[in-house]
Structure 1
């Protein structure tokens, strides 16, 4: 019950749902109250915030400091395990396997497969419980996509009970113990994930995937026009900020170097 409440309330606090709620309140005040000035102020501020968060310089300016905490893994230390954290997914057997991995999940899995190739003999570990109405777990969806990319099932381990990052850290601790491993997740999620895993006394080696904040050249209109793509980048900032607050409240948000 607490898990579902956290998901619903957290979802409403993300930029788009939150600003739409503010706009709805402003419209209600505008049409059915005498608070005209307040309504106009709320509508103006919420529209301006939505506009700014949909611009590339603003969205990626907010996202880059979170994503740049750890560099891409380039083979500095060989490991026996590559752990890929679960993300958004569905499962439709009629689709191409990779089409079932939504948003952040596919880059995590493909980076995990790359790192598996770079560490001969390593096991590829996928984590994540089933969605509420889906018989296939997040971990199993990732495993099936990895298999479709040439990873033998004998080299894959699925941990399909964890529902969030804290659960994933506990499950990995039970599965592989204290030995070092590559921890693959979205670059924006990695700082928070590292804290959870180190809080368990584990030795994760950061391996970011799914970097989104653009630093390379873009066409001028891509920077000047609002886009749902850039709003999604702002959404990641909001999601991770809320996650860090929740992590702090649970007492697992110390410095990444602390155990």
Structure 2
């Protein structure tokens, strides 16, 4: 398959890519995975991602935001700096932001406060939101319903049917990762993905995490890469009973429209 596909979520600034980041980008391009959208997860990470993406205009974009794990390090100055980053042409969304009650690396009240601030920033700038939710669905949706959210994608969706229905009802887009390739944990996703309209469906690797479990030639170090996105696309296509080429075109067009690239 030679169709272009977009990886909407890759943690390219992760330390596991420090030795070969350029090669990873080149390998992705060779596999028709382009452009890549780098995920910003902290202020430092978002700054580094924006700087790096600026070296590859049209090939790399990035989000700018604070992951709930890092919310404890957030302050008013952080919002100012995120707003500055959002003005750069390569920055296409606010996030990764949201709530994570699974690990509670930041206190829950702090998570809620700074999640709200990032929603307000996205609304003020009329930018999409790149969202994270884990074991926090009631609070997560309650907060989002309080604001005029422009556009939002629930990144790395792994939830239930009722949660998916709620997100779609709220007008959100859905990001599907290699979780769907896991015959144990991701089996339910193979059914649920059929409920997602093509104009709301996007795909991502979340590299270096979530390496597809059924990948034939697994990397020895276990690291996921954006070049593996075609494998995820093929799985999604089989679940929907559609040609991979059609799914590539649909998810690419949806991502372009959503991020304005």
Higher share of residues assigned helix: 1
Please say which structure displays the higher CA radius of gyration: 1
Shorter-chain TM-score above 0.5 = no
Higher relative contact order (CA 8 A, sep 6+): 1
TM-score, normalised to structure 1's length?
0.29
TM-score, normalised to structure 2's length?
0.28
